[in-house]
Chains A and B, each alone.
Chain A
Amino acid sequence: MEDMNITSAQYFAFNGENTSIVAEVNGIQMSVPLDPANRHYAEILRQVEAGTLTIQAAD
């Protein structure tokens, strides 16, 4: 297995625009940019596509 354990993900919005995702990755809270080259963002999108993760809307 070569995988990440992502237990939560929520968009962060600035001035009404989503600019990042705050996620719990392998037990660590991190702010993930919306950059397809970022491995955490790519993995979030992969898990969303697989139906195993949902990104919550920004507060």
Chain B
Amino acid sequence: MTSNARELAQIPSTPSGRRNLIINGAAEVNQRSTGTVTNGEAYGAVDRFIGFAAAGGTFTLAQSTDSPDGYNNSILATVTSADSSIASNDFYGISQRIEGQNVYHLGFGSSAAKTLTLSFYVKSSVTGTFGGAIRNSSGTRSFNFSYTVNSANTWEHKTYTIAGDTSGTWLTDTGIGLRVSWSLGDGSDRLQAAGSWGAGNFAGVTGQTNLITTGSATLQLTGVQLEVGSVATEFEHRSFGEELALCQRYFSLNCVGTGTATSTTVIQAQIPTIVSMRAAPSIAIVDGTNAAGDPGIAFRNLTGITGTVNSNLNGVSVQLTCATTNSGNLHEVYANRLSFSAEL
């Protein structure tokens, strides 16, 4: 064997480098803890995964330590209020919205569209054929995939290969490039047959099992990977720090800052974000107790947000309300008290 042949033989047969288009596919990062999804959409638990629900039923999203070999965590959906008669236009599900800048190379919407393969571990208390979808931002293009849960409460590995979409409009900027979703229940207008692209907003497959119709039913996912090609390669485990930083482009709890009390009840704080965010972030108080400090004097409880004075991808200037403090003093704003959201 020549030296070139030996070197070629050492190149792995599967693509190397960054393969997984999904962020936090092993459900490791969970900045928000548990959340309930009811009549709307909510980033409840496990970063980058969003839940959506209609008015008739509710479910929770949580991080679970129950996982298959080789993983530490999973995302757990639990039906807390069943919807036994799903309306024709209703959706229930879990989704990850992938930024357009991260999928422009797929060539969707052109003749150069690339084939994708989705793989994941699933465990459900309910058996049957389940559905999911790849959709564009506007919900005008949908590809629906199906998978079968053969045994209740047992981890199973699923793969599905998806031909690239040569039609439709697929964003390649900071908007939603594509959505990957797992249906927990869909009305009849939201279903189509698995295995081909359709014009419309279809989240599930015809004849699917609707988890949301069963009270206390559960569905778990982990090892979620979406990659270019027709083969599901081994899950790309990234370091926790790298995965966390990828998530913080969209959501962060750990920003800290300083500011001056402009009155006895308002602190104007300058708070840099940890990484450059996707968009200027929305700010909310998650825990106002002792959230700010009047150094050397007292902790202060934050009771509200007056408004954002200025913001960009790398930081904000925001006016925060507190019960009482010393006007003119420099204050600290601590980590894990405010959320910064630039989610898709």
Residues of chain A at the chain B interface (Cβ within 8 Å): 1-5, 12-14, 19-20, 22, 25-26, 28-33, 35, 37-41
Q: Which of chain B's residues has its CB closest to A37's CB?
A: B279
What is the CA–CA distance of A12 and B174 in the complex, to the nearest angstrom?
26
- Distance A22 CA – B175 CA, assembled complex (angstroms): 23
By beta carbon, the residue of chain B nearest A15 is B309
Can you report 19 residue pairs joining A to B where beta carbons are below 8 Å apart? A1-B40, A1-B52, A2-B41, A12-B306, A14-B309, A19-B309, A26-B42, A29-B304, A30-B283, A31-B283, A31-B307, A31-B318, A35-B280, A35-B311, A37-B174, A37-B280, A37-B342, A38-B279, A41-B282
- Roughly how many angstroms separate A23 CA and B91 CA in the complex, as a whole number? 25
Of B39, B307, B309, B341, the residue contacting A1 (CB under 8 A) is B39
With a cutoff of 8 Å between Cβ atoms, the chain A residues found around residue B305 in the complex are 22, 29-31
Q: Is the interface of B mostly helix, strand, loop or mixed?
A: strand
Q: Which residues of B contact A3 (CB under 8 A)?
A: 40-41
Q: Please, how many angstroms separate the alpha-carbon atoms of A4 and B53 in the complex?
A: 11
Residue of B174, B175, B280, B304 near A33 (CB, 8 A) is B280
Taken together as a complex, chains A and B put the C-alpha atoms of A58 and B282 apart, in Å, by 18
Can you list the 3 inter-chain pairs with the closest CB atoms, starting with the nearest? Answer: A12-B307, A37-B279, A20-B308
Measured CA separation A13–B319 after assembly (Å): 11
Binary contact track B156-189/A, C-beta < 8 Å → 1, others 0:
0000000000000000001100000000000000
The listed residue (A5, A13, A14, A20) touching B40 by CB distance below 8 A is A5
B90 touches A33 (CB 8 A): no
Residues of B within 8 A of A (CB): 39-42, 52-55, 89-91, 174-175, 278-285, 304-311, 316, 318-319, 341-344
Tell me whether A30 and B284 are in contact (CB under 8 A).
yes
Q: How far is the CA of A3 from the CA of B309 in the complex (A)?
A: 27
* Residues of A with C-beta under 8 A to B310: 14, 19
Q: Which residues of B contact A39 (CB under 8 A)?
A: 279, 342-344
User: What residues on A are CB-neighbors of B40 within 8 Å?
Assistant: 1-5, 26
